[in-house]
């Protein structure tokens, strides 16, 4: 079992942080990589990109939003409980190098994934402008952490309850218009990555996105996570999860993410009925 | 009319009782029930106990076939299973999934004029009997040698290596990427052909002998090959299989409702999606299911689809019935259950609705041309023969390649043009010192028993290396 040593409810209890004992993974993991978690015997395998690692303590941190049965089940796990299976680190790490001016855009729980990458980019000597966004102030996570990981932080909320009233793409446009941006990294919901990529393309800013397709094994043996990038089929679990944002077929990815929506709903409703 | 001398009454080959096709096509229970004691003894009596048995060379792990059959005839079922264990750590599995008609049974002398002795069924009987009624006494183990061996992958080749080396006194640890051991035996072969409980028990048998199994270890990611040596392992065996699914590369292949057979079977078998929502992993249940390909994996997929409620399960294969690579028995079972075959047919594109869900497939008729490099006649499209097949689920079962995850993260391993590991045929040694490989990662997709044979060769060589240094 992989024991939970720290647990926080963020964003009104809809976003959960778990720090998990997994020394082997903590020793190896690099920004951009993910793990697969399975809570119990009957559970499914869920991929989550790591939000942090502590090799000395031997722990990894994941942050997830409760959106269905499995994440609702994860939410029931208290400190001292654990996951039956945690597998990783998986996927290719982010290529961290000194590029110059880097804009890091995180949306929703994507901020959790964006954070270690932003920090590493800053440590590599880049000038970091970070843009984070959420539906509302209550759902915004890791603001302080992102502030210290960047040189400049811009905050947006869809409903205007905090920071700029609007989408992260508004701020991204302003940043791009300043010129001199060498690299963009975008992580968040697929529509956000799609529209932000269209925007950076206008400005010819090289763009990296971290994709979140459905996965089963996470080791390249099933192709469930396949995405079309530059007209070619790639497996996000081994070829990614990061790809050139200007080459990704986002519409296909969005459609594929809907593959099980009916079963997911059924499973979630059963679970909620049993637990109320 | 001259009277014929009365012939000695021959015992016919004993057939295992099995579930009725219409019944079994709706459940995941094993199809054949196995021999009764009486049937097993009758079948064992058909063996001629040849002095120079022709069957043994047909077995890739060299089981003493007349020996174990003789013990069944004598009623010493435990003894029979123990004799099997001498050469084969997984008899309950091999008795079920080996293509015996191409191996031991294909060479049986009785088979020249009559049906061959049912060696596979007898092997299965002895192993099942021992599992259910056995003494629980483990095979003898030599004194500890102090040497440590890491086995990467817990499929048939890795389990064989582990089983062989533990008996020779070496400490063996298996590293498995999935959360359960067994490789293709747990994620690939369905419950109705190989109950997972049997795999778990065979694996547990190895654990009771001292083999350690570490699941959730992706060698190449969680730990590198070099780190295994740093951790004190004296030798490493790579049995990681050929787990990279091939796709057809025709338009529309990324639509919802198109699975690789690996994904479809992994969801159903390993994740138990057939028990959804009791288990959390979902699976798309098609009404009209098309499986592309005609190997054993295709048969497993098409038969799984029926059990998941398909109204029509169709196999589409670009060559003719003669070239079908699946075992005849598997094709027969599939047909009995109602799987329909479209031969000489190839897909050109997949068609979807607005939501990106599969609704049909455009196919073209093929004819056979000259033999290709594989010796099979090359299928050629017939112009203007295009037609549509309605389907809401398609399963691509056209083979698998070498998964590059481990080989790309390891220096010094020589690979061939297809990404498979190059080894010495007689020893299983790779180009890297202290590293052996075997099974599908060397040969490409083959059979369970061939992977076990490769494991045996490597285990013997590893034992030599650990004992003598070569």
Q: What is the pLDDT of residue B454?
A: 94
How far apart are the CA of B359 and the nearest CA of chain A, in angstroms? 14
Encoding tokens for residue B378? Answer: 């090359």
Q: What is the pLDDT of residue B2?
A: 59
Verify whether the Cβ–Cβ distance A255 to B356 is below 8 Å.
Answer: yes
B56 three-class SS: helix
How far apart are the CA of B401 and the nearest CA of chain A, in angstroms? 9
Q: Taking CB atoms and an 8 Å cut-off, how many pairs form between chains A and B?
A: 117
Q: Give me the DSSP letters along B162-191.
A: HHHHHHTT-EEEEE-SSSSS-THHHHTS-T
Listed residue (A222, A192, A209) closest to A36, CA to CA? A222
Q: What is the pLDDT of residue B8?
A: 59
Give B281's contacts in chain A (Cβ within 8 Å).
44-45, 216
**Residues 6 or more apart in contact with residue A246 via CB below 8 angstroms:** A197, A200, A201, A207
Verify whether the Cβ–Cβ distance A256 to B355 is below 8 Å.
Answer: no
Chunk chain A into consecutive blocks of 10 residues (it has 276) and report each block's average pLDDT, rounded to whole numbers: 95 91 96 95 94 96 92 94 96 94 95 95 96 93 94 94 93 92 96 96 96 94 95 94 97 93 85 76
* DSSP symbol at B11: P
* Residue B144 Cα distances to B164, B165, B170, B172, B210, angstroms: 14, 11, 6, 11, 11
Interface residues on A facing B, Cβ-Cβ cutoff 8 A: 24-25, 28, 38, 42-45, 69-70, 73, 84-90, 216-217, 219-224, 226-228, 233, 238, 252, 255-256, 258-260, 263-264, 266-267, 270
Q: Which of residues 90-149 of B touch A (CB under 8 A)?
A: none
At B203-225, the pLDDT tens digits run 999 999 999 999 999 999 999 99
Q: What is the pLDDT of residue A267?
A: 83
Q: How, if at all, do strands A101-107 and A127-134 pair?
A: parallel
Q: What is the pLDDT of residue B3?
A: 61
At B344-386, the pLDDT tens digits run 999 999 999 998 999 999 999 999 988 888 777 889 999 999 9
Q: Report the alpha-carbon distance of residue B241 to residue B228 in Å, rounded.
A: 19
CA-angle at A269, arms to A263 and A271, nearest 5° = 105
Q: What is the pLDDT of residue B1?
A: 54
A168 three-class SS: helix
Q: Report the alpha-carbon distance of residue B252 to residue B360 in Å, rounded.
A: 10
Listed residue (B434, B457, B430) closest to B442, CA to CA? B430
Q: What is the pLDDT of residue B138?
A: 87
Nearest to B356 among A38, A73, A252 (CB): A252
Encoding tokens for residue B359? Answer: 């609704």
Give A44's contacts in chain B (Cβ within 8 Å).
271, 279-282
At A56-109, the pLDDT tens digits run 999 999 999 998 889 999 999 999 999 999 999 999 999 999 999 999 999 999
Could you tell me if the ipTM is greater than 0.85? yes
Q: What is the pLDDT of residue B6?
A: 60
pTM value is: 0.94
Average of per-residue pLDDT values in chain A: 94
Give A267's contacts in chain B (Cβ within 8 Å).
276-277, 280, 282
Q: Which of residues 51-90 of B touch A (CB under 8 A)?
A: none
Cβ pair B27, B417 in contact under 8 A? no
Give B271's contacts in chain A (Cβ within 8 Å).
44-45, 216
For residue B410, what pLDDT band results from cuts at 50, 70 and 90? Answer: confident
Average of per-residue pLDDT values in chain B: 93
At B359-369, the pLDDT tens digits run 999 999 999 98
3-state secondary structure B214-281: ECCCCECCCECHHHHHHCCCCEEEECCCCCEECCCCCCCCCCECEEEHHHHHHHHHHCCHHHCCCCCC
Share of chain B above pLDDT 70, in %: 98
Verify whether the Cβ–Cβ distance B284 to A233 is below 8 Å.
Answer: no
Q: What is the pLDDT of residue B21?
A: 94
Nearest to A217 among B178, B253, B280 (CB): B178
Q: What is the pLDDT of residue A276?
A: 61
Question: Would you say residue B7 has pLDDT above 80?
Answer: no
Burial level of B144, CB count in 10 A (0-12/13-18/19+)? exposed
Give B217's contacts in chain A (Cβ within 8 Å).
24
Verify whether the Cβ–Cβ distance B243 to A85 is below 8 Å.
Answer: no
Listed residue (B65, B90, B203, B209) closest to B140, CA to CA? B209
Q: Report the alpha-carbon distance of residue B88 to residue B212 in Å, rounded.
A: 19
Q: Give me the DSSP letters along A78-141.
A: PBTBEESEEEEEESPPP-----SEEEEEEETTHHHHHHHHHHHHHHTT-EEEEEEEESSGGG--
């Amino acid at each position: 079992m992989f024991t939970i040593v720290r647990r926080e409810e963020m964003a009104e209890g809809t976003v959960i942080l778990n720090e998990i004992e997994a020394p082997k993974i903590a020793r190896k993991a690099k920004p951009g990589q993910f793990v697969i978690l399975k809570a119990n015997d009957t559970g499914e395998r869920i991929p989550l990109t790591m939000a942090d690692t502590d090799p000395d303590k031997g722990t990894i941190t994941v942050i997830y939003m409760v959106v269905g049965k499995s994440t609702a089940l994860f939410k029931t796990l208290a400190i001292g409980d654990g996951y039956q299976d945690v597998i990783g680190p998986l996927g290719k790490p982010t290529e961290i190098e000194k590029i110059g001016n880097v804009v890091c855009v995180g949306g929703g729980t994507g901020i959790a994934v964006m954070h270690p990458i932003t920090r590493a980019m800053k440590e590599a000597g880049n000038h970091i402008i970070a843009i984070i966004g959420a539906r509302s102030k209550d759902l915004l996570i890791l603001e302080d952490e992102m502030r210290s990981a960047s040189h400049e932080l811009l905050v947006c909320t869809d409903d205007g309850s905090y920071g700029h009233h609007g989408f992260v793409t508004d701020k991204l446009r302003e940043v791009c218009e300043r010129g001199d941006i060498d690299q963009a990294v975008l992580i968040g919901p697929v529509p956000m990555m799609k529209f932000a990529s269209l925007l950076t393309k206008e400005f010819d800013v090289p763009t990296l996105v971290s994709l979140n397709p459905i996965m089963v094994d996470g080791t390249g043996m099933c192709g469930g996570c396949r995405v079309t990038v530059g007209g070619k089929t790639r497996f996000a679990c081994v070829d990614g999860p990061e790809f050139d944002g200007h080459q990704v077929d986002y519409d296909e990815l969005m459609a594929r993410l809907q593959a099980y929506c009916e079963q997911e709903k059924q499973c979630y409703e059963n679970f909620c009925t049993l637990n109320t | 009319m001259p009277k014929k001398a009365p012939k000695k009454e021959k015992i016919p080959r004993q057939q295992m009782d099995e579930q009725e096709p219409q019944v079994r096509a709706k459940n995941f229970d094993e199809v054949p029930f196995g021999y009764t004691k009486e049937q097993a003894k009758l079948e064992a009596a058909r063996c001629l106990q040849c002095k120079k048995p022709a069957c043994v060379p047909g077995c890739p792990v060299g089981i003493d076939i007349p020996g174990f059959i003789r013990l069944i005839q004598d009623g010493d079922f435990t003894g029979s299973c123990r004799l099997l264990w001498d050469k084969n750590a997984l008899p309950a599995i091999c008795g079920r999934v080996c293509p015996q008609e191409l191996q031991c049974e294909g060479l049986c002398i009785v088979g020249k004029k009559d049906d061959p002795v049912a060696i596979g069924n007898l092997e299965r009987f002895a192993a099942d009997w021992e599992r259910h009624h056995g003494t629980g006494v483990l095979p003898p183990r030599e004194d500890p040698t102090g040497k440590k061996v890491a086995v990467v992958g817990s499929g048939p080749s890795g389990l064989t290596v582990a089983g062989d080396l533990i008996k020779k006194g070496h400490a063996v640890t298996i590293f498995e990427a999935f959360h359960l051991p067994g490789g293709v035996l747990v994620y690939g072969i369905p419950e109705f052909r190989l109950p997972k409980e049997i795999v778990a028990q065979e694996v547990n048998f190895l654990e009771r002998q001292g083999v350690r199994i570490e699941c959730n270890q992706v060698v190449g990611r969680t730990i590198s090959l070099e780190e295994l040596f740093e951790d004190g392992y004296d030798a490493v065996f790579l049995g990681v299989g050929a787990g990279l699914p091939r796709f057809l590369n025709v338009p529309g292949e990324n639509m919802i409702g198109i699975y690789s057979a690996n994904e479809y079977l992994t969801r159903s078998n390993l994740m138990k999606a057939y028990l959804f929502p009791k288990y959390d992993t979902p699976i798309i249940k098609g009404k009209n299911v098309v499986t592309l390909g005609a190997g054993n994996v295709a048969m497993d997929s098409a038969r799984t689809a029926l059990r998941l409620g398909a109204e029509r399960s169709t196999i589409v294969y670009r060559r003719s019935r003669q070239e079908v690579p699946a075992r005849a028995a598997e094709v027969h079972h599939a047909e009995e259950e109602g799987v329909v075959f479209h031969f000489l047919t190839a897909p050109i594109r997949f068609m979807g609705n607005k939501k990106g869900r599969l609704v049909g497939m455009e196919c073209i008729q093929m004819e056979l041309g000259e033999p290709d490099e594989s010796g099979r006649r090359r299928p050629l499209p017939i112009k203007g023969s295009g037609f549509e097949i309605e389907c809401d689920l398609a399963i691509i079962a056209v083979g698998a390649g070498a998964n590059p995850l481990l080989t790309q993260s390891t220096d010094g391993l020589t690979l061939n043009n297809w990404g498979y590991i190059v080894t010495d045929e007689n020893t299983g040694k790779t180009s890297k010192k202290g590293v052996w490989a075997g099974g599908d990662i060397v040969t490409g997709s083959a059979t369970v028993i061939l992977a076990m044979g490769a494991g045996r060769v490597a285990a013997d060589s590893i034992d030599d290396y650990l004992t003598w240094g070569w």
